[in-house]
Amino acid sequence: MLYLWFSGNLFYGAYAVADKLYFGLVIQPQIFAFFTLVNILQVYWYRYKWSFYKVALAGIVLSVVYAGLHVGMWKATEHAVNHDQKGAVKFMGVLPAILIALGFFPEFFVCIKEQSVEMSNFFIMLDISGGVFSTISLAFDHTFDYVASITYLIVVLLDLVLVAMKVYFFLRGTQGLVHKERLRKQQQLQSSSEKVKRLTTEMETEPKHLEEGY
């Protein structure tokens, strides 16, 4: 998921620069890519227990690769814009939306598996607001960039899917940490009950074995 978002921002950042979008829309994917990189490095640190130097090296390598590809994609997209190669320009604008959309699907899978959406309401609303206001800002440009708007609108749409899932799981009573804690206690109680039954069965069968041996 994180790698898809990181790549999506790489392509969209290059498209935004080449298409000369507003400054805020140009730096937005770079900031998002930076925080995505921080999350990737946190995964290396906490999940895979990499050393500090190894994590730092990975951060430097990923940053250099990002910068190099970003400049290359920017120049390629700029060349396509200058030579009116509309197909290539649209591809560079739509590809980030596809990558970012694909990045949501692992989260959807986890939510369905856990029967709960653990993303905070504040984060989801902030993400939706960012997509809406970014789309609105495109309307104040000399011409509305429909290709650029796809990336923002797809984020809004998929965030709304998460909201719908959250409401659905809430109505089912499976949403949130409270339900998980209650389920954990039920599992512990069931496990304890099974142990008691097993011990009781063993105690009942043991005298029979003694009688047979006698």
Which of 39-43, 135-139, 177-181 reaches the highest mean pLDDT? 39-43
Retrieve residue 213's tokens.
Answer: 């041996």
Residue 168, burial from CB neighbour count under 10 angstroms (0-12, 13-18, 19+):
middle
* Residue keyed to tokens 């998460």: 162
- DSSP codes of every residue in 50-99: --HHHHHHHHHHHHHHHHHHHHHHHHHHHHHHHTT-HHHHHHHHHHHHHH
Spatial separation of the C-alpha atoms in residues 3 and 85, rounded to whole Å? 28
Retrieve residue 18's tokens.
Answer: 């080449």
The pLDDT of residue 144 = 84
* Residue keyed to tokens 């509309």: 86
Contact predicate 9/36, CB 8 Å: yes
The pLDDT of residue 177 = 65
pTM of the model: 0.75
Q: Where does 83-176 have alpha helices with state H?
A: 86-114, 121-138, 146-172
What integer best gives the mean pLDDT of the chain? 86
Helix H or strand E encompassing 2: helix 2-18
Spatial separation of the C-alpha atoms in residues 153 and 149, rounded to whole Å? 6
Spatial separation of the C-alpha atoms in residues 85 and 8, rounded to whole Å? 21
Q: What would the pLDDT profile of 139-189 be if each residue is shown by its tens digit?
A: 887 678 888 899 999 999 999 999 999 999 988 888 876 566 666 677 777
pLDDT above 80 (res 207): no
Q: Looking at residues 199-214, what average pLDDT do you find?
A: 60
The pLDDT of residue 181 = 64
Q: What would the pLDDT profile of 109-135 be if each residue is shown by its tens digit?
A: 989 988 888 888 898 999 999 999 999
Which is higher by pLDDT, 140 or 66?
66
Phi, psi angle pair for 85, to nearest 5°: -90, 80
Residue 85, burial from CB neighbour count under 10 angstroms (0-12, 13-18, 19+):
middle
Local confidence band at 212 (pLDDT 50, 70, 90 cut-offs) = low
pLDDT above 50 (res 210): no
Spatial separation of the C-alpha atoms in residues 25 and 17, rounded to whole Å? 9
Q: Looking at residues 66-78, what average pLDDT do you find?
A: 92
Helix H or strand E encompassing 25: helix 23-42
